[in-house]
Each structure stands twice: as structure tokens, then as C-alpha cells.
Chains A and B, each alone.
Chain A
């Protein structure tokens, strides 16, 4: 059972916009920034969004992130077949001595 909750799967057709949600609590998302990772076909995860809404260089502007209260979301616009992957949200959790926590992951299928 993950500390942060994501939908197990989402899907869309090429060109569509999809949004992946990440629901947490006041000890993680509300208190700290959220980071999003993309994992293609069981390869190592890659940073997609940092500081809740910032894109690293090289990440297309089709990817955007936002955060409000205890929830965060990743939006992919102009969906492409190569976006098919697993997506994870991550944040530091202030409970006890603190730890990194991940969402359970969302499988994006491009139909």
C-alpha cells in the first residue's frame, strides 16, 4: 500500500491530453515538492518534473506538473506513442524521521 495514491492506469489516443493524479497528505505533498518520474519498459526511471512544476532540460513542454494542497498532477498534452510508460510521483514525507515516498505508479497506454 503506497503512501501516495495514483490511478493504476490511464489511456488516451495520439494527440489527446491525459492527466495523472497523485494524492498524498499534509506530511508529504502539502509540505514538500513533488517529483515525477517516467519509466519506460522496466528501464531505470527518468526525472520528468521537478519542484512540482518544473521541467528538466530535454523534457518536452508537452509534460507539465502542478500541485495543490495534498494532491499533485502530471498532464501530458499532444499524446504520442512513445509516451507509453509507467509514471511515478515522489515526495519527501516528514513523518517520523522522514523518508522518500512514491506513488504506486500509473501505466499510461496510448491507444
Chain B
């Protein structure tokens, strides 16, 4: 069973870069037709998708973040990373990493969904 765990600084200064790592255990990030994604949740608010990286290294970002985000695969087969640049207090949130799997049955595919999540890591942007 795959497990994901986020790690990184809990406090980041405004205008700096928020950098987080998601460590994957129980499976290689290069096995399977999966996307590896980041999602965040500001306190008292809903979920917000940031983007994903595919096993080929290709990426896709939410329009809300694409000008200041990079998601990349790690050098080993067990982690991927998030870099969010020029952060402000509005970026304060719990950040989750998640695996995205294809929703397919009997040779037909219907979409994708987030099937495994990390426990989340809180990040505060403050001077």
C-alpha cells in the first residue's frame, strides 16, 4: 500500500520560496500510470489543486499558480517536490501531496482521482 509523507519548513518569509518534498513509500513513483500532485488547504477553507508531475517529468499546473510554481520528480524513485515562489501570507495553508490514479474499467477510462494522500504539512508565511 502506497504511503505519502510531506516534509519541509513550517515557516517561510514573504517573497521567499516555499519548498516541500513528498516522500513515497510502498511503491516507486515511476511505476504505474500515475500523476503526483500537490493540493493545499488554507485554514478554515476548502481544497485547492496546485499541479502535478507525471512520471515522464511533464507537468501541469493550475492557472492560479502556473506563473510561480514548479513541481518536479526527485533524483531517486521515491520523492517529488513543490517549489512555490514569491510567497505571501495568502499562501499560508496545509499542503498535501497526493497520488492521482486513472479511473478505468473494462478497457475504458473515465477520468482520474486522488487515491492516496499524505497527512499534510502546515506552512505559515510570515516575517
Number of chain A interface residues as a range = 20 to 34
**Count of chain B residues near A, Cβ 8 A:** 22
A-side contacts of B32, CB under 8 Å: none
Q: Quick check: which of A57-65, A72-80, A96-104 contacts chain B, the rest being far away?
A: A96-104
Q: When the two chains form their complex, are residues B103 and A50 in contact, meaning their CB atoms are under 8 A apart?
A: yes
What are 14 inter-chain pairs, A to B, with CB distance below 8 A? A2-B46, A37-B47, A42-B94, A44-B118, A44-B120, A45-B47, A51-B110, A88-B46, A97-B60, A99-B60, A99-B61, A99-B62, A102-B46, A102-B49
Q: When the two chains form their complex, are residues A90 and B113 in contact, meaning their CB atoms are under 8 A apart?
A: yes
Query: A47 near B: Cβ within 8 Å?
Result: yes
In the bound assembly, the distance between CA atoms of A102 and B61 in angstroms comes to 15
> What does the 1/0 interface line of A8-22 toward B look like (CB < 8 Å)?
000000000000000
Residues of B bordering A, CB below 8 Å: 45-49, 60-63, 94, 96, 103, 110-115, 117-120
B-side contacts of A96, CB under 8 Å: 63
> What are the 3 A-B residue pairs with the smallest beta carbon separation, nearest first?
A44-B117, A100-B49, A105-B46
Main secondary structure of the interface of B (DSSP, over half): strand
CB distance from B125 to the nearest CB of A (A): 19
Q: When the two chains form their complex, are residues B63 and A99 in contact, meaning their CB atoms are under 8 A apart?
A: yes
B-side contacts of A35, CB under 8 Å: 111, 113-114
In the bound assembly, the distance between CA atoms of A93 and B28 in angstroms comes to 28
Query: A43 near B: Cβ within 8 Å?
Result: yes
Q: Which of A33, A43, A45, A97 has most chain B Cβ within 10 Å? A: A45
| A51 and chain B: residue at smallest CB distance | B110
Knowing A50-B103, A98-B60, A99-B63, the reply to whether A45 touches B46 (Cβ < 8 A) is: no
| Contact pick for A47, options B110, B113, B120, CB 8 Å | B113
| B61 and chain A: residue at smallest CB distance | A99
| Contact pick for A43, options B61, B63, B111, B119, CB 8 Å | B119
B-side contacts of A105, CB under 8 Å: 45-47
In the bound assembly, the distance between CA atoms of A50 and B96 in angstroms comes to 20
| B49 and chain A: residue at smallest CB distance | A100
In the bound assembly, the distance between CA atoms of A96 and B64 in angstroms comes to 12
In the bound assembly, the distance between CA atoms of A104 and B46 in angstroms comes to 5
